[in-house]
Structure formats: C-alpha cells, structure tokens
Amino acid sequence: MAIGAAGLLALIVGALLMRGGEDSRSPVPEKVPGTPAWAQEHYGNSQKAGFEGRNIVKIEFLGRSMFVHRDASRHFLRLERLFEARAPDYAAAVAAGELDDWSYDLRNVRGADVKSNHAFGLAVDINALANPVGTSGDIPDEVVRQWETEGGEWGGDWNRPDPMHFETHLTPAQIRHRYRGDGTPRGWYLDQLIGG
C-alpha cells in the first residue's frame, strides 16, 4: 500500500503529538523494565503488522520449541543452561514430560487489559501443569535466584504467583553485551558473576 507524502507527514506529526502528550501527562514515563511501554520501546510494537515475522524466532529449549524475540533469544538460551547446570534432573524431566511449555503469544495478561510480555516474545512458561497460577509450584530455587541475578524476572515472586513464568528485563543491548549467541556468558561477564 502506497502512502502519499501528505499521509506520511500526518503520521509523523501525529506520532510527535502523541509523544508530546504522553510526556506532558507523565514527566517520568512508565518505562520500568517489564512494563508494556518498556517492552515496546526496546523490542518494537507487538501490535504492528509483521511484528511476528520480523522478530519472533524459534529456539530449542529443554527439548522443545519455544518462540521468543530474536533480540532476547540469548537470554532464554542462558535460562535453559541454568536449568541444565543447576537442576539437571528437573531439566531432564521437563524435556521428557508433557508439552506444557509456552512462549510467544499475542494476548493480554490474564484478567487484565494489558499486553503480556508473551506478546513481545519476552516470556516463557515452563512446566505449566506443575506450576499453576496461584501456587508456589516446583521450580528449583537455585535456577530462579541465578536468573534474577542476571536480570531475569520470575512470576513466582509476584503477589499473584505465576511460578511457570520467566521473563527478561534486559534490553537487547544488555543481552548482546553479556551473552554469546548460544547463551553462554561472555568472559568479562562470567568473571563478574564468579567474582561478584
């Protein structure tokens, strides 16, 4: 579809007006990591046509296919490695168990009119049948603590616990800086993790 110069100008002016309005309403924008505004700023507008095709990639995660944002895939590969290294029995059980693990999904947060991080490919649900919302679940603590140390968020700590849920709170730049393509930490970051 061709957009005329006038239409394009109207779009740009409209975007600037929206941005101005947003800033004047809230001097400190809600760009807290994990919020939809933050996700959209760093990972793109999940509502826009073509978002999925441009951004969502398949990764192998504990023996199954997960769909996550291309720019966050390294962080989720790191999460898989944390399961394998710190809770190998649990990792093996997930790989051999039911297909109850989910990832990219264009939907709102359950019971709320807010886009979930699943809609951006920034969240995965692991072993859902054993970790229903509202329970403490069975996710190994040693995986959770390291994930949180490395900039991940775990739903099991929320007021309404969602223990199957893991999401990244790192920007694409932070992820590229810290991890190689296969999810292993770069040398400087590994030194920091070990030393710190």
Copy the structure tokens of residue 4.
């005329």
The Cα–Cα gap between 167 and 160 comes to: 15
Task: Please check whether residue 177 is in contact with residue 190, taking contact to mean a CB–CB distance below 8 angstroms.
Answer: no
Task: Please check whether residue 37 is in contact with residue 30, taking contact to mean a CB–CB distance below 8 angstroms.
Answer: yes
**Chain residue at closest Cβ approach to Zn ion:** 165
Q: Which stretch binds Zn ion (CB under 5 A): 76-84, 91-99, 164-172, 174-182?
A: 164-172
Q: Which stretch binds Zn ion (CB under 5 A): 51-59, 72-80, 103-111, 122-130?
A: 122-130
Report the residue from 42, 74, 115, 165 that binds Zn ion according to the rule CB under 5 A. 165
Q: Which stretch binds Zn ion (CB under 5 A): 21-29, 66-74, 125-133, 173-181?
A: 125-133
To Zn ion, the closest distance from the beta carbon of 146 in angstroms equals: 19
Give which of 76, 63, 176 is closest to 124, Cα–Cα: 76
- Strand-pairing partners, residue 20, are none
Copy the structure tokens of residue 126.
């692991």
Q: Is 150 in the site for Zn ion (CB under 5 A)?
A: no
Task: Kindly tell me the burial class for residue 20, based on how many C-beta atoms sit within 10 Å of its own C-beta (0-12, 13-18, 19 or more).
Answer: exposed
Q: Which is nearer to Zn ion, 125 or 150 (CB)?
A: 125
To Zn ion, the closest distance from the beta carbon of 167 in angstroms equals: 7
Q: Is 125 in the site for Zn ion (CB under 5 A)?
A: yes
* Contacting positions for Zn ion (CB under 5 A): 123, 125, 165
